[in-house]
Structure 1
């Protein structure tokens, strides 16, 4: 039987890895090596506004007190921290990430951490009321497989939130964002980081944004996976919130 081709979120980037197998190894390595710097650089890059925005995005997507949340690509816990505040003591949060280095940086009492990939989640079918995926869509190896897992893990009526950074529509806005993300942020990373690879991570971050499939294709993939009420909300023309409901 012929396996269907992988639905990649972006074309291969040979400046960083050779093939898709090498891609998965590269992503895990670069996040493992730079995990200790991630929060510090993110705060500087976003001028301290990241937490406020994440909380607003979660609320807009319908996260409620008492929900069971699966946060895929939990990283250091930046999105999960805001989710925990919204779900309260009666809620439950499960964080999944393939990077042991990132998981080691999570400091959220009561949160259950599981090692795993978006394409093969270590979660039971229907386990979650809400599934979040923050700024990691560009790092998966198979868009359709990941979205299929999100659908499986959500209960009927469960909600999905995918946060991503998209390229601005205007030419000058794109040029400014590219300069900021590929020049200013890596320079900032070299100043405040402990690990040498942190500047490389943030260059890679922009290159994946630039190469990523457009928002329309992301929404089509969500619908193809079986999600309904697929919508996209944007802030400042670059912060994309994709939401949907499991039927």
Structure 2
């Protein structure tokens, strides 16, 4: 759910650590940004980040992306194949931008489930959508992407926008998503990725690590959370690695489309 990319010195290491749960002598560890933490601690730390940023999340999204995040989300909707009557899971749906658009398209016979592991984000989303008059065909569920509390073959479409990189076990999440999709259903993963040009990556690094945390401090009174968000992007799988992970989870006809020079990528896969 937000924006950034890191020291080019860690590019190779990051790609090897992306799905990382590393067995040590005593504990399983994983990454929290560039920090190595116990696996069970990551969920708590990520929760603290989003509890902190929830109230200013939409404002910061507009500032950080200069409003471009709205175009990325529109592109996701356009590629979803959504129709009237569909059942949709907006996973890690945060403040509900995708849910609001899906709700209008699926209509009274359809349903959108806005799910997020973070209660603060979920409450901000619920209040925002109610203020917009988006009611009736939207449900709110606090859920962990790694073990979704839905029956097999429930949803026509699952989206996860700017949330997968914060999941501890991404492979488990992809498998869980595959299980709850109907045959013929599709997954769309909108996430920060790796710029395709070196010059863009260098500019993006300067922005992410010099400007973004300062912006977070001024607007949200929280520089550390936005430093983490920048680091978390560098630790996320690149485009081809994520495509392979989706295929390993069972998805077919997988593809991705780079947006804004690869700063963001939309991955798509089908369950047949």
**Which TM-score applies when normalising by structure 2?**
0.81
Structure 1 residue 160 displacement after superposition: 0.6
Structure 1 residue 16 displacement after superposition: 4.9
Tell me if structure 2 keeps the 8 A contact 1:63–1:86. yes
Q: 1:112 to 1:218 in 2, by over 3 A?
A: same
Tell me if structure 1 keeps the 8 A contact 2:34–2:232. no
Residues 83-162 of structure 1: matches in 2 within 5 Å?
A: 83-106=102-125, 107-108=128-129, 109-110=135-136, 111-162=138-189
SS of the residue 2:48 aligns to: helix
Tell me if structure 2 keeps the 8 A contact 1:9–1:143. no
Aligned with residue 20 of structure 2, among 8, 32, 35: 8
How many residue pairs get aligned? The number is: 239
Give ranges in structure 1 of 5+ residues lacking alignment. Answer: 1-5
Partner of 2:244: 220
Structure 1 residue 231 displacement after superposition: 0.5
Q: Distance in 2 between matches of 1:218 and 1:53?
A: 18
SS of the residue 1:231 aligns to: strand
Q: 1:86 to 1:50 in 2, by over 3 A?
A: farther
Partner of 2:4: none
**Which TM-score applies when normalising by structure 1?**
0.89
Aligned with residue 224 of structure 2, among 160, 178, 200: 200
Q: Distance in 2 between matches of 1:31 and 1:69?
A: 23
Partner of 1:3: none
Greater per-residue helix proportion: 2
Structure 1 residue 50 displacement after superposition: 2.2
Give ranges in structure 2 of 5+ residues lacking alignment. Answer: 1-17, 23-29, 130-134
Query: CA RMSD for the aligned pairs?
Result: 2.1
Aligned with residue 203 of structure 2, among 176, 181, 190: 176
Tell me if structure 2 keeps the 8 A contact 1:73–1:96. yes
The one of the two structures with greater contact order (alpha-carbon pairs below 8 A, sep at least 6) is 2
Deviation beyond 4 Å, 4+ runs, structure 1: 14-17
